Amino acid sequence: MLFLALETSCDETAAAVFTDEPRILSNVVSSQNDLHARFHGVVPEIAARAHLRNLLPVIDQALRQANVTLKDIGCVAVHNTPGLVGALLIGVSAAKMLSLALDVPLLAVNHIASHIYACRLAAGRDIFPCVGFVVSGGHTALFRCEDALTMRLLGGTRDDAAGEAFDKVSAILGLGFPGGPAVEREAANGDPNAYDFPRSFLSDGRLEFSFSGLKTAVLYTVHGQNVSRATPPPAGRLRADVAASFQQAVMDVLVGKCKQALRQTALTRLAVGGGVTANKVFRAALEAMAAKEGAALFIPPPSLCTDNAAMAALAVEKWRLGQFAPLDLDAEANFL
Ligand code: KG4
Ligand code: ZN
């Protein structure tokens, strides 16, 4: 059985073809970074219009790379929640149209659950039950995952998501968009212990996060209390040290909370996904912690960490259970 999956929840237009194994045959992602860079963040209306322009060429490319045609597709899957509602609607409408035109079943997949399923996809074997951790631009949330489709929220962020904090600190430092890779590059030349930035909730047992205080601490360190019309700092020691110290503070909290979640749930597997998981310092810190705790760590390769449609192979699990979506399927902005 061949599946075609679509992802348009935020600012990547993506399509993938996979088998029911699941095995990825193609995974095409068209990024809109250039369109949003000058706004230092994703502009929903611009994202939706770009999806409309890009989606059909991206689907064509995914089919070509998989060496199949629409006639070979037996199921259509789409991320219908959570995300920007106007952006989600483009993928949902296209998936419904394809399902109707090809007369094949439609499967609706949760984008957050897919980020965790990316670990299962990359591992090529069962990873459940596990602690699931999604660290992206929109979410920072820990789950107890019984199986691919049954997850209970253990705790999440009270304000900014970790990726969002990277994007905002990148804007403060004048490093560009998206912020994560830019801050990681800058941090490589800095001292992670130069500034003692706050690590919210780290020493308490609640599995919650807060990154807005950290962002403000970075802002005050760079500009003092007078931040009106502040220009970003020039390249040099201060900029690199702030980037490295900020990144270290985020990683200490993310890794520390994973450790607490493993201990509190007594689970011995940890699956981490979402854009921030592409960060090499984060991956190394997770590996060191998991080894110490005696836990098995599952992290996808970077191409399956950031938004993509291949991770919607979670649809295979729904297909096995006959959990198909109706043709009046809607896009839902909120999930948590
Ligand atoms: O999962 P994703 O592609 O989209 C959402 O579902 O939000 O995550 C995007 C987020 C952005 O905030 C981006 O800055 C962050 O992931 N990110 C990183 C890195 N690469 C992407 N954060 C830190 N280090 C990275 N290397
Ligand atoms: Zn995502």
List per-residue pLDDT tens for the chain, 336 residues long.
999 999 999 999 999 999 999 999 999 999 999 999 888 889 999 999 999 999 999 999 999 999 999 999 999 999 999 999 999 999 999 999 999 999 999 999 999 999 999 999 999 999 999 999 999 999 999 999 999 999 999 999 999 999 999 999 999 999 998 899 999 999 999 999 999 999 999 999 999 999 999 999 999 999 988 777 678 999 999 999 999 999 999 999 999 999 999 999 999 999 999 999 999 999 999 999 999 999 999 999 999 999 999 999 999 999 999 999 999 999 999 875
Q: Are the CB atoms for 104 and 73 separated by under 8 Å?
A: yes
The residue whose CB lies within 8 Å of the most ligand 1 atoms, and thus the one to mutate among 136, 139, 251, 253, is 136
Strand pairing report for 12-19 and 269-273? unpaired
Residues facing residue 248 across a β-bridge: none
Gap from CA of 41 to ligand 1 centroid (Å): 12
**CA torsion, ordered 90, 93, 97, 100, to nearest 10 deg:** 150
Task: Quote the CA–CA distance of 13 and 50 in Å, as a whole number.
Answer: 8
Residues facing residue 2 across a β-bridge: 19
Closest Cα to atom 14, ligand 1: which residue? Answer: 180
The residue whose CB lies within 8 Å of the most ligand 1 atoms, and thus the one to mutate among 116, 306, 336, is 306
Gap from CA of 136 to ligand 1 centroid (Å): 5
What does pTM read for this prediction?
A: 0.96
Token pair recorded at residue 54: 């890009």
* SS3 track for 6-51: EECCCCEEEEEEEECCCCEEEEEEEECHHHHHHHCCCCHHHHHHHH
Q: Which residues line ligand 1 (CB under 6 A)?
A: 10, 136-138, 163-164, 166-167, 178-181, 184, 274-276, 278-279, 306-307
